[in-house]
Structure 1
Amino acid sequence: MTGRTELELADWRRRVAQLYAAVRAEAEPAVGHALWRAGRDALFREHPQSALRADDPLRETGLPFWPYDPDLRFELPLGPVPEGTRTLELPSGETGSTLLRAVGVLELPDPVGGSLTVWWLEQYAGGLFLPMRDGTAGGDPATSSYGGGRYLLDTAKGADLGAVGDRMVIDLNFLYHPSCRYDDAWLCPLAPPENSVTARVEAGERMA
């Protein structure tokens, strides 16, 4: 990377962190979600670190997403990691891999069900990482999300919905696609099998 590129990347992370801080400060979750959508679209439209190619029509239309569903927002305790759960090395493209360490498990209530492992990034900038793959992954773009899954939390980039006491805020309406969904020049760790649920989570970003 050139010095200019590194400055742009630092600015992207700063703006993402500021956007999530504004979301956490908003008392009404649906209003916070609308704020997040507008801010994310602005970054993808205008920022030099946008994953969208210059001619991508999504720069004008905004990123597709499902309407906000208040039933998909939870405050969940982080349970213990099952005995024998290992660190996980995920390929991140030709440059190497990403090492993750399990730090806890979230049990998703109805209408989703299933469990998700919360990971700690052992390199990069550190931080909590929560990818997820659900029943919408792959298939007809009009009714699906990216086949490799989506992200919910990535605190290394400031993507953090916060906590209420000792419970994590898990709002599936904030599921977003990794950059490699828009351009395969980007290298992204994808959701491991431990982070897959069978239910269709029609919330967050979708393909079309």
Structure 2
Amino acid sequence: MNETEQLWDWREKIANLYYQARFNENVTDAWRTWCDTRSKMFRDHPQSPIEAQDRKTYHGPTTFPYDASLRLAVELVPVTADHMTIATGSDGELSMRSFARTTGLDARLGGELTLYWIEGYGGGVFLPFADATSGSETYGGGRYLLDTIKGADLGVVRPDGKLVLDFNFSYFPSCAYSSRYVCPLAPSGNRLAGAVRAGERHPISA
């Protein structure tokens, strides 16, 4: 496969992985599959963000243990659109606008989060965040929970209309692994005062 076909294959595998996770009633089993599949892709796939010379010895992203208390149901309230443009290196500029903000996270995590709509053809939902672990236990620029353009779509709406956000599926942007990437980071308004010890983390030093 050429590079474009490789990226297509990567996106398809990620989209399928999240599709399976959304419809697996056993959430811890879905999370284990997510962890295992990402580890294999990071080791073996030509579009891995891990540098080619490091992949053979790479064991996969490190995560906190699954914490069911960090699978939370929130309501979304509309917000006045705040537009921002972010430089992303050779990919040009990324334009996005806020469209909703959570209610229901503050008591547990010390803040609420704004959801963004990435503008351009098709668009997509983007939810980056930082928290008290950022820069120590996790990547300093924050983590992603939703990035639907890239296939990372775990959005689950319950019958009562609330959105389920499972922070156990939060992950580092590609720029955390390689300087080849320039990624949009969590805006200042999406910093939680609490520590989200779920999802991807830095490896623990021996």
TM-score by length of 2: 0.90
> How far off its partner does 1:59 sit?
5.2
The Cα offsets for residues 19-50 of structure 1, whole Å up to 9 and x where unpaired, read as 00111121021111111101111111111100
Structure 2 CA distance for partners of 1:160 and 1:58, relative to 1, 3 Å: farther
**Where does 1:112-123 land on structure 2 (aligned, <5 Å)?**
112-123=109-120
Match of 2:195 in 1: 200
Give 1:112's aligned amino acid: L
Match of 1:128 in 2: 125
- 1:164 equivalenced with 2:161 (yes/no): no
One of 45, 53, 56 as aligned partner of 1:55: 53
Whether the 8 Å contact between 1:52 and 1:59 is mirrored in structure 2 is no
Structure 2 CA distance for partners of 1:50 and 1:201, relative to 1, 3 Å: same
Q: In the aligned structure 2, how far is the partner of 1:100 from the partner of 1:16?
A: 22
Q: In the aligned structure 2, how far is the partner of 1:131 from the partner of 1:111?
A: 18
RMSD after superposition: 1.8
- 1:137 equivalenced with 2:130 (yes/no): no
Structure 2 CA distance for partners of 1:100 and 1:58, relative to 1, 3 Å: farther
Structure 2 CA distance for partners of 1:112 and 1:25, relative to 1, 3 Å: same
Give 1:133's aligned amino acid: A
**Where does 1:3-152 land on structure 2 (aligned, <5 Å)?**
4-56=2-54, 60-81=58-79, 83=80, 85-93=81-89, 95-107=91-103, 108-123=105-120, 125-139=122-136, 144-152=137-145
- 1:182 equivalenced with 2:177 (yes/no): yes
> How far off its partner does 1:97 sit?
2.1
Aligned residues between the structures:
200
Give 2:68's aligned amino acid: P
> How far off its partner does 1:103 sit?
1.1
Q: In the aligned structure 1, how far is the partner of 2:41 from the partner of 2:99?
A: 31
Q: In the aligned structure 1, how far is the partner of 2:100 from the partner of 2:60?
A: 34
Q: In the aligned structure 2, how far is the partner of 1:186 from the partner of 1:124?
A: 22
> How far off its partner does 1:175 sit?
0.7
- 1:155 equivalenced with 2:148 (yes/no): yes
> How far off its partner does 1:123 sit?
2.4
> How far off its partner does 1:198 sit?
1.4
Give 1:146's aligned amino acid: Y
TM-score by length of 1: 0.90
The Cα offsets for residues 97-130 of structure 1, whole Å up to 9 and x where unpaired, read as 2111111001314321311000000026511000
Most deviating of 71-80 and 52-61: 52-61
Q: In the aligned structure 1, how far is the partner of 2:59 from the partner of 2:166?
A: 24
Structure 2 CA distance for partners of 1:45 and 1:128, relative to 1, 3 Å: same
Stretches of structure 1 that go unaligned for 5 or more consecutive residues are none
Report the secondary structure of 1:56's partner residue: helix
